[in-house]
Structure 1
Amino acid sequence: MKNDEPTVGRRVLLRSAVFLGVAAAASLITGGESDTPAPGDAAGTGPAPGPGGAGATGRGAPGAPALRAGGPPPNSYRLNPMTAEAPARPPAVKPAVRTRPILELPAEASRSGQMVLTFDDGPDPRYTPGILDTLARYGVRAVFFVCGEMATDNRDLLRRMAAEGHVIGNHTWTHPLIPTLTRPDLAGEIGRTSDVVEAAVGTAPQWFRAPYGAWNRAAFEIGAELGMEPLAWTVDSLDWTEPGTSTIVSRILGGAAPGVIVLSHDAGGNRSQSVEALGTYLPRLLAKGYRMTLPTLPTARAH
């Protein structure tokens, strides 16, 4: 007898082990359900069931076939146990639905002389680069509330904004008067713009501004659902009326105060006055001790 040939006793043991293994596998496939928690139970092996229970939701473990209504999970779920061990991904934190927009910085920011500069309606390749150049010259960051129809054709400017540390906000797709829109139309205006920004810079906007400052409940709700806070303004330069560079400068310097949010534009018309005005009022604000800053998300949302 060869040394590596199993003895009769060993062969019997091996056959017995194989038989028991097959029997155990058959038991797993055809029965024995009660000792394994179904997806969504207290063991945390899958998503929590909906109002109608696990059978009503039709969902099982990730990658598993749908649950049978009113019955145990399909057998294939048992053959893919690793999915049951994966920790549940925490849901994204969304802001509460507000009833009015944020108009100024928190008190602590105001006490330190901080202000926020914002620019709406762009990006426009004729004017936005000049504004970015001036901000870079003085080491200042700002918020750009972009319109999707402008952003989609000027993604290089979105990428420059992000690379230079500015915040990109959502200003709808076509700059409509929000109260005149149906809810689905408004959702499209806001959602499409967020999609373009995210595709260009990798992250979706976390701030939203209603065109003309015309807010309604749907705007607050849709913005919150997309993870955005509503930001308005305290000082309006009215630069969109093209009143002259000196008038724009006077309005912003006259309204400057700790905690204020300044509204200007980098698109939507001839914005050469806005570009020139920034080069005048920005160094004056800095010389007066004001600090240009960015808005911060409420503490409950910050991660």
Structure 2
Amino acid sequence: MAVITVFMITSFAEKSPVFSGKNNAISEDQAKNLNNSGNNSIPPPVKPAPEPKPESESSVEPENVTKPDPPDAKPETPTETESQGETESKPVPDPTDKSELENAVIPVKKPDPKPPVPVHPQVQEDRKKFVALTFDDGPDGKYTSAVMDILDEYKVKGTFFVVGQQAIKFPEVIQRMKNEGHSIGNHTFSHVNMPKQSIEEMKEQITKTDEAIKDATGETPTLFRAPYGSANAQVKETVSQMSKTLVPWSVDTRDWAGTSVAGMMGHLKKEISPGGIVLMHSFGGKNGDLNNTLQALPLIIEYLQNNGYTLVTTEVLLAAKG
């Protein structure tokens, strides 16, 4: 009996539009017939469940995927600057963006420092008490060499202002001056009083002496001393135009006048001061006698050294004065 009941229900379900799935709706007549049959246990029609929508690929973002930059994005190129072992990245200004270029900080290379001005080795000593010994009117065949012998004995360098016509006569003495490290200056060609000369004559006096000195030493002097110390404005201008340094003196020993050794020392002690330039001679003198100079020179050197002075050439002294 149970088998027959299952068979009837199955057949009914296959023929019923409600269960067949062919049509979910039933007509009114069909409903009445069902009600009249006395079977009230038929469930109401079941609506099919909606199919699930596939998930959008854009709604789920896979992990560890790099997003592409938007089309209008500007790439940043990092620049590396080393700072105490660490690397710092900074964006480089966009060359197409004028506002970024205007505000960009452009590194400026600092100019190389200027090299120091060379200083004569002796200038590095105590320049406050420099003194220069100078000798005029030579060279000759007697006194000039004797003066250099004394200077060499005391390891002192002097400055010789030579007369051109004497340089022509004694070129070997000029050569010795250079070889022993003494300075050589121009003292005109024939010991003329320069203010009484025309400009052309002054230039000739200087030029001819330069040539005589250069023939003996291969060098043109840059120092000039006017005979008698006589130099007006015109002389100074001419000397400057010829690229010479005019060198006066501050202490006159008056050896040229035949002054005694004691007298010469008296003048020196009275007039000497740091930066002083002492005038003596290596040719000429009263009646051509300069023995007083040879006798006084060792005493002058010893006095100056014992009182803390450093004896240097005129170039070194002028360089120290700046």
CA distance in 1, matches of 2:125, 2:280: 21
Q: Is the 8 A contact 1:134 1:278 kept in 2?
A: yes
The 3-state SS of whatever aligns with 1:174 is coil
Q: Which AA in structure 2 matches 1:295? A: T
Does 1:270 pair with 2:284? no
- 197-206 vs 247-256, which moves further: 247-256
CA distance in 2, matches of 1:114, 1:255: 14
CA deviation string 1:8-41 (max 9, x = no partner): xxxxxxxxxxxxxxxxxxxxxxxxxxxxxxxxxx
CA distance in 1, matches of 2:308, 2:169: 38
CA deviation string 1:46-92 (max 9, x = no partner): xxxxxxxxxxxxxxxxxxxxxxxxxxxxxxxxxxxxxxxxxxxxxxx
In the other structure, the counterpart of 1:294 is: 313
Q: Is the 8 A contact 1:237 1:264 kept in 2?
A: yes
Q: Which AA in structure 1 matches 2:263? A: T
CA distance in 1, matches of 2:267, 2:291: 17
In the other structure, the counterpart of 1:119 is: 135
In the other structure, the counterpart of 2:301 is: 282
1:280 Cα deviation after fit: 1.7
In the other structure, the counterpart of 1:82 is: none
Pick from 163, 168, 172: which aligns with 2:179? 163
Segments of 5+ residues of structure 2 without an aligned counterpart are 1-122
CA distance in 2, matches of 1:170, 1:153: 15
Segments of 5+ residues of structure 1 without an aligned counterpart are 1-106
In the other structure, the counterpart of 2:263 is: 247
Q: Is the 8 A contact 2:132 2:158 kept in 1?
A: yes
In the other structure, the counterpart of 2:200 is: 184
Aligned residue pairs, count? 194
Q: Which AA in structure 1 matches 2:247? A: L
Q: Which AA in structure 2 matches 1:127? A: Y
Q: Is the 8 A contact 2:159 2:313 kept in 1?
A: yes
Q: Which AA in structure 2 matches 1:197? A: I
The 3-state SS of whatever aligns with 2:314 is coil
The 3-state SS of whatever aligns with 1:233 is coil
Q: Is the 8 A contact 2:183 2:315 kept in 1?
A: no
Normalized against structure 1, the TM-score is what? 0.60
RMSD: 2.2
Q: Is the 8 A contact 1:266 1:275 kept in 2?
A: no
CA distance in 1, matches of 2:218, 2:240: 19
1:157 Cα deviation after fit: 0.7
Pairwise mapping of residues 210-225 of structure 1 onto structure 2 (< 5 A)? 210-225=226-241
CA distance in 2, matches of 1:197, 1:225: 19
